[in-house]
Amino acid sequence: GENVEQHPSTLSVQEGDSAVIKCTYSDSASNYFPWYKQELGKRPQLIIDIRSNVGEKKDQRIAVTLNKTAKHFSLHITETQPEDSAVYFCAARATGGGNKLTFGTGTQLKVEL
């Protein structure tokens, strides 16, 4: 089955700096890659996603890139703010797998003032 690895497990940046979180997946049939942000005690919130026919997608300060050949995808957050502090999860959905998402282990992002 699908396996998703996520790095780093913790990331500390200064306010205003950029943050990058990387994920790799194992199933070449995966075609949909969402990213979720989970604040303490709250539900995971979908913040951006990318489909396998697209290499990059941006939404204001966040962007996601996908390299299908290498089976890598990354989340980029620019101009980080304290409210970006949370746990971020990447996930992958394989073709034919219904809506099953396989999640990475999460990255605890801390944005320091």
Quick note: the x/- pattern for other proteins over 31-70, rule CB under 8 A, is -x-x-x-----xxxxx--x-x-------------------
Contact 37, 90 (CB under 8 A): no
Stretch touching other proteins by CB under 8 A, among 16-24, 56-64, 66-74, 91-99: 91-99
Q: 77 to each of 21, 81, 92, 101, how far by Cα in Å?
A: 9, 10, 20, 23
* Whole-number Å distance between alpha carbons of 36 and 14: 21
Closest CB 68 distance from other proteins, rounded Å:
17
Name the residues that contact other proteins, by CB under 8 A. Answer: 32, 34, 36, 42-46, 49, 51, 89, 91, 93, 97-106
